[in-house]
Structure 1
Amino acid sequence: MDISSGDDSDISESEMEEYEDKSYEKLKNGKYTVMVSDETYTCPYCPKSNKQKYRYKDLLQHASGVGNSSSAKRKPRVKANHLALARYLETDLVPVVSSPKPVVEEDPPSGCDHDEKIVWPCTGIVVNIPTRRSADGRSVGESGSKLRDELIRRGFNPVRVHPLWNFRGHSGTAVVEFRKGWPGLHNALSFEKAYEADHHGKKDWGANDDVKHGLYAWVARADDYNASGIIGDHLRKIGDLKTISELMEEEARKQDRLVSNLTNIIETKTKHIKELEAICSETSKSLEVLMEEKENLLQAYNEEIKKIQLSAREHFQKISSDHEKLKSQLETHKKELELRGVELEKREALNETERKKLAEELEQGLKEISRRANIGVKRMGELDGKPFLEAMKRRYNEELAEERASEMCSLWEEYLKDPDWHPFKRIKLEGGEEYQEVIDDEDEKLRDLKAEMGNEAYKSVTLAIKEINEYNPSGRYVISELWNYREGRKASLKEGVEFLLELWETVKRRRGMT
């Protein structure tokens, strides 16, 4: 039963909610027919002349679209009935549609002309979008994202909505882009059917019956693609004309290629598996041989261990015997050594005077050689206090000058030990990419030192910090280095040894030794 030819009397907007509840109760009580078969539904509130058969999803979109329509053509009674139908579908018929035969949107759509050319990727057209005049005289309208969100809410899942603009501004039209593939085509056809059911499809837009209210929409086809104007120009930029049959053939070719590729992969994998099986078989045989060799080696090892243990016991017994003999011999030697020790102590007492005399002569010889030697020990990073003393003598008497110089030296020795003080800068060497660290003359401490204490004190500090930076940058303390004073460089070990030999020869000559 339906009410398509029933009472045409209308209600007010304030009565819509109450009327919707009454219509919903009638639907629940089975007064009107909604479900025609397991997969087919009909709208009991549409005129008989416009009766269509819907899938569940399409009827729900139709009912929601009419019920929430803002068109002035829609009477409150019609909107209330469709809102009741949408509630009934969502609340009472949901268990019915969860049947074991769901609609698979990954398959090509049925019930439509497979030879009709459509714009691909699937595209919808929306017209009669409200616009208004802006201050500059151009037309403006709602953004595409707002319409896209509304279409998503209604279950059509567009990718984007692109309003079309011309020199006058917003043209009042837009194109709706859907995903590639069969799911996108299903969404596009559902989008078209929903607007057709709402009498806002392409035919309704083309009818010159009265003033148009609300949005009109449809799926773009060959006539739209080939049309002149802003819509046709845009469609030709973004897509091509194809039939569902052509798309199915392309899909079949892709599937054939995929199957062929997978078959080749499977054959390759199978061949590889056989090769691996052969390798595994050979490996298994090799392992068996290795295990047998291992058992033989283990047996030989155990036998060898037994021999070694037996030999070790015999050897230990021999060592024990020898130990006793050595112990006896050591006791004898100990007594002999004790006697010799007493004798040596007597001799040492006699030679003590002579040894003291030799030490004094050796010390004198070292002093004489050090004064004229080119090789010696230099304390790297040690601060020379003489320039500080000379600077203070120019200001104070000798006693106070020594005290002030000592204080300044102590202060600058602490600066030298400070790892956070690094008065260097990097300069690029000429003719290359290498850099060199040099003293930063603009360093505040060094500038103040030079101004206060003079150039010699400045040289003493910069020499010390350069030596520390070169020889002990991480420790920042004074270290000793073997030094070649004649050439002003670090001496080699060979030079140090030669110096010691020279020193030894000098001492020998002074002692008259040969």
Structure 2
Amino acid sequence: MDEDFTDQSSGDSEMSDSDIPDNAEKIYEELKSGKFKWKNPNGTYRCPFCPGRKKQDYRFKDLLQHATGASKGTSNRKTKDKANHLALSKYLENEMTDVSANKLAIVVVEPVIKPPEEEELYVWPWTGIIENLFVKPNDRKLSSMKIEFSKFSPVEIHMLWNDKEDSGFAMVDFHKDWIGFKDAVAFEQSFTARHRGKKDWDERKQYRVSSMYGWVARADDYNSKGQIGDYLRKKGKLMTLSDVVQEAKKKEQQIVTNLTYELGDRNKDLDDWKTKYNETSRLLDTVMQEKNSLHHAHNEEMRILRHTAAENTLRIFNENEKLKSNLEYQRRELERRSNELNKHEALTERERRILDEEKNKNVVKKNSLHLASMEQRKADENVLRLVEEQKREKEAALNKILTLEKELDAKQKLELEITQLKGKMKVMNHIEGKDDNGVQHKMKEMQEELEEKEDEMGDMQSMNTTLTVKERQMNDELQKARKALIQGLTNMFGGRTLGIKKLGEIDSKPFQNAYLRKFTPKLALIKSKATYSLWESHIKNPEWHPFKIVVEAGKSKEIIDEEDEKLKHLKEDKELGSEVYVAIKTALLEINEYNASGRYPVPELWNFKDGRKATLKEVISYILKQLKIKYQT
């Protein structure tokens, strides 16, 4: 068919078959940009590359079939024409299939409805009848026959065989919509044009003819006896075109009505959920603000406690050092004097007596030194006991914080009761006059209860103030002691258990190890330092905040945002590996927890064995252990 059309373009004889795909891509882009027009005003379609063709009112599927056939390598068209039609076929399949399908689905073929007395009754769903078949259901020719009738878009073709007449017939089911009716009419017209319709079959069926006859099933077929009538009565019913139109309108109206009701219910539900969401959000914001305030106050109190404990520990340590230095000096001085006395043992009796007296004095002093050493040990034990007491006081302070919170709730409850009593008294003042004895008695009781509540309120405020002051003092002492230990003992720690760690500082070893796998040690050191400095600047940058807030078990907390652009690139970097990614995450978590505002590493007493901050007890025990080892040696 399509191969008979001539190409309208010129100068394309030089194009080879290998150039067709490239040229087709260019035309495809031009079609997408809207350069070519392929739609007619009446809703049909035309081929923009066959302007001389008479037929320019294709349906969508016919235009797609035309473009596909003209683009085949077996067609006699020129190579450029093949490329044009190949691009059109690709454009229709990829870009316009859904749109065209939707348009086809809503096209209504307006039937020519006759007056009620002249309307024909059709079998609905639309059904075609093919008579005088000599192809049995299992014959190979059946597939070729189905292909022949596929141009009418049948839903299904049912083959029936009559053993008595040694012939068969077929029932062709079409779609229930107006497109299906149009296909059924085209099916009937294809037989009528060749004089093989229903009327022709009625005139010739008594003769032995070899041609097939076909028509659309109507009332006489529906009411007929035999296999055809049985099939039609089982599968369908008789309806006029007006009945089909009315039934379709009723279904559409019912669908619209149901959707309208459902949309109203959904909008009402949506409004209810919006109201609940706004109320929940408001309450959540209030709770979060209160929680943040309590958390900030708690952190501040704990910081003060740690600072105070650090200062106390440092003061005790310095006093012990001075005492040990004095004792050591006296011990050396006594040893020196003892040696001098031993050298003079050969002197006179008088001198010997003097020496004996001196020796006795030295013995007494040694005993005194021994007692002083014992006292020193007791002092060390007192230091440990002091640490324990500070620990207990710290726990007591935490318990007091909880007690304060409970007392705060009690205080608020008490204030509410006082307010209610005052309100009741104002109401009582306006109920009756001053001469009413019952009212006066009730007001007196309420006044006494109000005074008791106010006294209780005053006692509670006084106790809260005392506890708060004491707690702050203890916190200050703990914080000062911890800070002093960090400053004074930075060079003393060198073990694997306790030490000073800079929280928020990136571990440089993973960078060196990553580059040592690919470069020489010297080049690896240079590259690792450059990459390390880059990430160090990223972490110090306050504008980079790769964290997000999640809620777990009803509590919100900040975690690393795995979808952060920098972290995603680092995680996917095969050259650096996962160890560098873990080191960056660890530094970010530490800097966010211990110095989120300053964004620089801070020193802290650290228990490397357990991976946590060291307690004051652990630090002081470690110091005393090192001192004992030192003096024993």
Instruction: Note whether the superposition's TM-score is higher than 0.5.
Output: no
- Normalized against structure 1, the TM-score is what? 0.40
CA radius of gyration, larger in: 1
Q: Greater helix percent: which structure?
A: 2
